[in-house]
Amino acid sequence: MVVVMTPEATPADVEAVVNLVQSAGGQAFVSRGLTRTIVGLVGDVADFEALNLGSLAGVLQVIRVSVPFKLVSREHHAARSVIRVGGVPIGPGTLTVIAGPCAVESPEQTLQAAWMAKSAGASMLRGGAFKPRTSPYSYQGMGEDGLRILADVRSETGLPVVTEVIDPGHVDMVASYADMLQIGARNMQNFALLQAVGSAGKPVLLKRGFSATIEEWLSAAEYIAQRGNLDIVLCERGIRTFETATRNTLDISAVPVVQRLSHLPVIVDPSHSGGRRDLVLPLTRAAIAVGADGLIIDVHPAPKTALCDGDQALTETDIREISDMMASWPPLMGRMLAASPDEVGHVPAGV
Amino acid sequence: MVVVMTPEATPADVEAVVNLVQSAGGQAFVSRGLTRTIVGLVGDVADFEALNLGSLAGVLQVIRVSVPFKLVSREHHAARSVIRVGGVPIGPGTLTVIAGPCAVESPEQTLQAAWMAKSAGASMLRGGAFKPRTSPYSYQGMGEDGLRILADVRSETGLPVVTEVIDPGHVDMVASYADMLQIGARNMQNFALLQAVGSAGKPVLLKRGFSATIEEWLSAAEYIAQRGNLDIVLCERGIRTFETATRNTLDISAVPVVQRLSHLPVIVDPSHSGGRRDLVLPLTRAAIAVGADGLIIDVHPAPKTALCDGDQALTETDIREISDMMASWPPLMGRMLAASPDEVGHVPAGV
Amino acid sequence: MVVVMTPEATPADVEAVVNLVQSAGGQAFVSRGLTRTIVGLVGDVADFEALNLGSLAGVLQVIRVSVPFKLVSREHHAARSVIRVGGVPIGPGTLTVIAGPCAVESPEQTLQAAWMAKSAGASMLRGGAFKPRTSPYSYQGMGEDGLRILADVRSETGLPVVTEVIDPGHVDMVASYADMLQIGARNMQNFALLQAVGSAGKPVLLKRGFSATIEEWLSAAEYIAQRGNLDIVLCERGIRTFETATRNTLDISAVPVVQRLSHLPVIVDPSHSGGRRDLVLPLTRAAIAVGADGLIIDVHPAPKTALCDGDQALTETDIREISDMMASWPPLMGRMLAASPDEVGHVPAGV
Amino acid sequence: MVVVMTPEATPADVEAVVNLVQSAGGQAFVSRGLTRTIVGLVGDVADFEALNLGSLAGVLQVIRVSVPFKLVSREHHAARSVIRVGGVPIGPGTLTVIAGPCAVESPEQTLQAAWMAKSAGASMLRGGAFKPRTSPYSYQGMGEDGLRILADVRSETGLPVVTEVIDPGHVDMVASYADMLQIGARNMQNFALLQAVGSAGKPVLLKRGFSATIEEWLSAAEYIAQRGNLDIVLCERGIRTFETATRNTLDISAVPVVQRLSHLPVIVDPSHSGGRRDLVLPLTRAAIAVGADGLIIDVHPAPKTALCDGDQALTETDIREISDMMASWPPLMGRMLAASPDEVGHVPAGV
């Protein structure tokens, strides 16, 4: 940490800072300039933060120079991690596609969507049974019945399942069905939920809050890690900006930035970031090219009747394009398309 | 709702929209222009939203023209509401000050802060026992012990207590101590929590998410209202913008905008929006002048040792200024300073 | 300045930083921590910035701790300035109201608007002859004819005139008519224009760019000051955020923040920030209460036919409310309403 | 346009809207709903905008459904345009790389940077002689001397030159040296400058303002087009958001969004958007993959001594990687790397 003194700070003010830091077991180095004095702090940042140095007389600014997360940081864990979900790897070396319907609506719709996902190259199935919706009058999901459908579709297709959990009280129940627990963007700072999934013994997909800085996102991951669960995959899904032409603004730069700061895998959601079907393919290509470890894509057998986010679900023509892309693009990035753990589920004719 | 067709839309495309709307029990009026055709929809918006009109061929844009909240809207409830918390009114006619420490740290600190609050004109006490913190390494609060302290301080000072709840599983327990339940900014779209406090039988203080639009904020209130609880007070506490000189940007305009859209009272948090002690007084004056129904202010007997947000807590000089302001400013706005329900708690000498 | 080294930085990396700083005539103090080393720099920041320290091996971050503006800063000019425009003071002690039509449309409209302005308590007239409009198909202003109208209305009413200039090549011509030159929000970083008005010998009203940080805004003022012109008044007029309920988000906190950083006066534009007539009165009160040195308000005798921004111009009822407010509110802030320099212009009956 | 009436609007209010629209030569269709009435307008939007419909009694909202730009829109010009600069094409079918130093500093530095650019696959040279800088104390560029250097380097290398112009009064002079005129992000809404380059007879590179919506950006292009110049290339270079890990947030989705709305080519600036050297390569790949028509990249022979933005200029290793990428990636997108018009300039040994 660095403490910047105001131009009017007295020598006594500076000494007070130094003494307080030393009393907390830290070291303080004073640099006196022409108009300002700077105090560099060495020791445990968490201790220093409790000192409220910003409240002391003569202090202009306190600048933290180390990151507020440890377990998920690359500082002490340089190698990038590979997370395995039901046998499917996510991390460097592979490109993992997760696909499925935004919301589980029926066994038929979910199964059809799963076959579409598989055609597109997906090795995992996503589907929402509990839906966090802005309006209480929007469709809220099938609940546990939806989870049962997902489990059945997994048996039939061999695809491991990732599904969202929105209530700490549901975590154990959802974990009993799912292979991976998803924390949605609106719950990224729902700390009770983060702690609950940290203790649930299943990998976690942590979406970035639409207004979260990268630092806040990694701090949220740290909450999960702190409970002993380091099987975390981060998902960039667009941030809120002034631009209204797209639902959110995909922060494509976040992928390499996070990969430098953290050892955790980072995937991209090209469906929710743009919120428009015509953007899914270009954003999928951009995500692969920027170095993402995977993708999570909305597919629905009949987007026009989808109960949730039908505007962005892909058609079968799109699926074929994605399937072609998955054959040619990952090798350019030195990656292999991740295979599903069980290849018994053959795509039936007509899908 | 209005459906805007693309310039290339065919008559059959337009007819498909009209038919779909009619099949859902609505009416559709077609306006044909030189380059575009517009279809106006009449009927139940919730029904129309399920139609996924945006997915139909030839549809450029679907514009919703009605608000997505009903119970909290002024459209059918023109009179502005007064919410009562332990006998203290919040609403038009009064200016209600809520004050107290960001975090409950000890019985002494909380009691002292409560007397400070009362000196400043407060008729309610705030204090956090469960703290949602960005980093898992920051102080997380005293939990239920903190709630007991708040209840004891209420007995001594007569001030009703508002405190934050962060886990749906804790709502009943927190409600057994508190007079009002606070939903913090990070949990504004924690829908499981909103539904839980909607059923808890206590008034709710709903802070605006730091990246929530006004429409999303009112939709969050609608979640609470839908469970039968209309005792909701809204709190503007600053939004996230590109400006870094202040912790958040107080959206002062939100107060009159929300008061036009909703019958619920709106208060302002001048402490968290600026995040700087020197801004609390000017922002408090601005909030009163813009027409806020109340304020929620951080006070701490010893800000330099505060475990949370000490940088923004007020000193005793500030308290005197606020006390003076509360004597002269509310009448300018046609308001009376709300009195605490119990005037037995005298401020002891030396505070 | 502070240079933060990466955890992997070698002693040679640190030495390279120290040597480079010393070669530029500065001093460097090294603080070695457990995981990071920090180098504090003492000397001329402008020299250090040219060194590209961020490009050196082992450098994580370069943090500037001093402000990038000098002439407009309070660091060496603690007293807040009073700027005089045609005899009207703007600064501490007074509250100065500037009012008039967004665009000059005709002699009659401008004169009527000027009398309305005077009724509202204004001591200066604003009116646009050159209008920067987002679309080339919107009304672009009357040009020099409009300036002649403004000068005539000044003669009749005694109100000094502020008007916008948008082209460096027009500055002398506009300055020959106006008492104060306005730089609009979109031109805040039009540096050629800033330099031109810095040399024009007239006071300048510098609006904040709708996406400018406070630091960028003061740096823009520094461009003007550097040409020898310190007669600058700053105007907060709302910033661009994600919220769409208002045209812009008035950053009310910017007023006290800027007043601490700079000695220049700060006024508020309640008309353009909200973009809605119903917000002008509450935001005017909030601006006075937060400590603004003045206001600039749109008035138009017939808003429904205004060629520009009619949605936000006030009616006569609003004018009376503002007039009443100007009698009672400024004294609360220890200010007097600034009088117009010439009181001969009587408001004719019927206005 | 669509006019939405308030729930309280009377039949007379609706009639007033209809009459006003008809008096302006338009048609109005009324759709009466349960709680609201909507009026659809058919005719010339520019005429309707002058009516100030939003000011009429009973009007809640006026929604514009057509875009405010015509000449640059694809609505009446479906084929995407190819712009030629000194013989180099920019548009569909090719990928055009523009590279060079942020600022021209000397003949040697510029020539060396030009050879680096050519090695990287560039067919055009960029270099700034007039630099718009946030602080007046930052390096402001060499002015006309810099333009002479650029012209000399063009003679030697055969690379056409693009350079920024910041003052309408300089346009003719800059145009006499340059092959393409650049409008920088801060000047995107400097309308006097847009009009001046619209008349200068040279192609224009129009950077997106860092806080401009896509609609504002295309409206700025329309200003240039309206003066008879349709040789415009758009450049996405990052927008301002709350995220501080990168200088700006590259809005990668803007590329396909703009390509659907406008026939003009769109290129990406991976250097200024991230502001970090380590992001240039991943963002370059992402830009190609999303479908950009070209790139503009900072290169400098000695970034550590660069007078401007040295933090983001590439090293020779990076150049080799870009060169390799340009051989393999454009064909994946059905594009050819654009060749420089004159291949006589051989890269000398040692560069």
Of D291, D96, D260, nearest to A283 by C-alpha is D291
A18-63 pLDDT, tens digit each: 888 888 888 887 877 666 787 878 777 767 777 778 778 888 878 7
Average pLDDT over residues D160-173: 97
Q: How confident is the model at residue D242 (pLDDT cuts 50, 70, 90)?
A: very high
As a whole number of angstroms, the distance between CA A197 and CA A200 comes to 5
Q: How confident is the model at residue C221 (pLDDT cuts 50, 70, 90)?
A: very high
Chain B residues whose CB is inside 8 A of the A305 CB are 52
Chain C residues whose CB is inside 8 A of the B282 CB are 253, 255-256, 289-291
D181-236 pLDDT, tens digit each: 999 999 999 999 999 999 999 999 999 999 999 999 999 999 999 999 999 999 99
Question: Do D29 and B31 lie within an 8 Å CB cutoff?
Answer: yes
pTM: 0.90
B31 at interface of D, judged by CB pairs closer than 8 A: yes
Bridge partners of D162, per DSSP, are D126, D180
A138 at interface of B, judged by CB pairs closer than 8 A: yes
Q: Report the pLDDT value the prediction gives residue A43, as an integer from 0 to 100.
A: 74
Of B288, B235, B301, nearest to B262 by C-alpha is B235
Chain B residues whose CB is inside 8 A of the A52 CB are 303-306, 310-311
Q: Is the pLDDT of residue A303 over 80?
A: no
C89-125 pLDDT, tens digit each: 999 999 999 999 999 999 999 999 999 999 999 999 9
C201 at interface of D, judged by CB pairs closer than 8 A: no
D294-324 pLDDT, tens digit each: 999 999 888 777 776 666 678 778 899 999 9
Q: Report the pLDDT value the prediction gives residue B66, as an integer from 0 to 100.
A: 66
Q: Is the pLDDT of residue A9 over 80?
A: yes
Average pLDDT over residues B47-68: 77
- Give the nearest chain D residue to B40 (CA atoms): D31
Q: Is the pLDDT of residue A200 over 90?
A: yes
Q: Report the pLDDT value the prediction gives residue B34, as an integer from 0 to 100.
A: 61
D53-81 pLDDT, tens digit each: 877 888 887 877 667 788 999 987 999 99
Looking at the partner chain, which of C29, C35, C244 has a beta carbon nearest the beta carbon of A31?
Answer: C29
B211 at interface of C, judged by CB pairs closer than 8 A: yes
Higher pLDDT among residues B291 and D46, named by residue: B291
Q: Report the pLDDT value the prediction gives residue C344, as an integer from 0 to 100.
A: 39
SS3 A54: helix
Q: Report the pLDDT value the prediction gives residue A351, as an integer from 0 to 100.
A: 40
Q: Report the pLDDT value the prediction gives residue C285, as an integer from 0 to 100.
A: 97
C46 at interface of A, judged by CB pairs closer than 8 A: no
Q: Is the pLDDT of residue B168 over 80?
A: yes
Q: Is the pLDDT of residue A123 over 50?
A: yes
Q: Is the pLDDT of residue B164 over 70?
A: yes
D318-338 pLDDT, tens digit each: 899 999 999 989 999 999 999
Higher pLDDT among residues B284 and B11, named by residue: B284
Q: What is the 3-state secondary structure (H, E, C) of chain D?
A: CEEEECCCCCHHHHHHHHHHHHHCCCEEEEEECCCCEEEEEECCHHHHHCCCHHHCCCEEEEECCCCCCCCCECCCCCCCCCEEECCEEECCCEEEEEEECCECCCHHHHHHHHHHHHHCCCCEEECECCCCCCCCCCCCCCCHHHHHHHHHHHHHHCCCEEEECCCHHHHHHHHHHCCEEEECHHHCCCHHHHHHHHCCCCCEEEECCCCCCHHHHHHHHHHHHHCCCCCEEEEECCECCCCCCCCCECECCHHHHHHHHECCCEEECHHHHHCCHHHHHHHHHHHHHHCCCEEEEEECCCHHHCCCCHHHCECHHHHHHHHHHHHHHHHHCCCEECCCCCCCCCCCCCC
Task: Give the DSSP H or E segment for A290.
Answer: helix A277-290
Q: Is the pLDDT of residue A349 over 50?
A: no
- Give the nearest chain D residue to C57 (CA atoms): D304
Cβ-based contacts under 8 A for chains A and C: 70
Q: From the CA of C39, how many Å to the nearest CA of chain A?
A: 8
Looking at the partner chain, which of A69, A136, A222 has a beta carbon nearest the beta carbon of B222?
Answer: A136
What is the residue type of C308? Answer: C
What is the residue type of C312? Answer: Q
C18 at interface of A, judged by CB pairs closer than 8 A: no
Chain A residues whose CB is inside 8 A of the C34 CB are 42-43
Strand ranges across the sheet with D59-63: D27-32, D37-42, D2-5, D59-63
Of C25, C27, C4, nearest to C14 by C-alpha is C4
Chain D residues whose CB is inside 8 A of the C50 CB are 139, 307
Domains of chain B with CATH codes: 2-63 (3.30.70.1140), 83-337 (3.20.20.70)
Question: Do B63 and D66 lie within an 8 Å CB cutoff?
Answer: no
